[in-house]
Every structure is written in C-alpha cells, then in structure tokens.
Amino acid sequence: MGVTSIIRELCIEPKHYESMLHFFRSNSWSIETLRDKWISIVKKVGLAYKVYGQYLMIGDGGKESKEGRKMPGVKKLCQESENSSKGTYIHGHMFGAIGILLGTPKKFFCGLLSMRLHDGNEIIAEWEEDELAKESHVVRLVREACGIAAKLGEKCRIALDRYYLTL
C-alpha cells in the first residue's frame, strides 16, 4: 500500500510499480547514509544559526493516530493533550524529530534533520537483536540528537518540550 500511495500521489505511471519496489528493497542505499548526507549538506550551506558558538537543535515528538491497528508500530498511546475534545487514548505511531535552527536573527525556522518512529517498534528491534530496543522514547530522542551532534562535529545545544522533563 505504501508504494501504491507514492505512485498515486506523484502521478507516476502504474507500469513503474515493480521498479519502485526494487528501489525501496535495494541494499545500495540506507536511511542512515541519506540522513548523514543531508546533515553534511545543512552544515556546508552555512545557514545553521549558532547560539553562544554552538548549534541549536530542536527536538519534539508527536503522535499520529492510525485507523489500522495491525500496522507495524501501531500501539495504544495515552493522549496527554489538554484539549477536552480528544480521547484519552489513541491507536497510532509516536514519532521523535530533531531539527536545527536555521536562518538569521530576523527570521528563524527549524530544518528537519531526522524523524524516526520512537515508540511501538520494540518487537521489530528485537527481531534485529537491537540492544537499544528497551529504551524509552525520551532516551531515543536524546540519543538521536547526540548522534547528529557527532555528525556535525561541533558542540550543540538541544531545546526540548517541557514534556521531556516530566517523564
């Protein structure tokens, strides 16, 4: 369904379906290689803003409700929103994202560096024998930020939502 959605959204001719499957299953590229290349491009362009001589990374998480409960990574999540119209629990994915502050003092924006599924993928990680499978989503987000800082090769600061201090 994922490849079908991409073909439909990008108006690609259906005859290219098999080629798209081969692309996504290929061993010639990895998500980590693409992410590392993107981080090097962001650093090279020079738009990253520094605070006291250090890059400022911004981290946050989000929950995306999903209708399909048999999808990989979908689990029952507590909805902490203060909005009374939202249910207490949802079934969905929990993502963690790390960005970097870009721009000038007149106009800032956050450039996304990494976004990963941070909760609900423990079973998949156990299949791959990942020793970090039992970490909380908070630890995963901070670990991701540390990895990005190492790729940038400089000291960085990270700003997180207050939610991460209460866990």
| pLDDT tops 70 at residue 6 | yes
Q: Which residues are paired to 94 by β-bridges?
A: 63, 119
Average pLDDT, the chain: 79
Render the chain in DSSP notation, one character per residue: -HHHHHHHHTT--GGGHHHHHHHHH-SS--HHHHHHHHHHHHHHHT-B-EETTEEEEEEEEEEEE-S-TTSTT-EEEE---S-TTS-SEEEEEEEEEEEEEEEETTEEEEEEEEEEEEES-HHHHHHTT-TTTT--HHHHHHHHHHHHHHHHTS-EEEEE-GGGG--
Average pLDDT over residues 130-147: 76
Q: For position 98, what pLDDT does the model report?
A: 92
Render pLDDT for 42-91 as a digit per residue (tens, 0 to 9): 889 888 888 898 999 998 877 766 666 666 666 666 666 666 566 677 76
At residue 41 the predicted structure's pLDDT band, cuts being 50, 70 and 90, is: very high
Percent of the chain exceeding pLDDT 70 equals: 69
pLDDT given at position 102:
92
**Count of domains forming the chain:** 1
* Residue 151 is assigned to a structural domain of this protein: yes
Give pTM, 2 decimals. 0.68
Does the residue 2 lie in any domain? no
The reply to whether 18 falls in a domain is: no
In a domain, 148, yes or no: yes
Flag whether pLDDT at 23 surpasses 70.
yes
What is the extent of the structural domain holding 89? 46-165
Residue 152 falls within a domain, yes or no?
yes
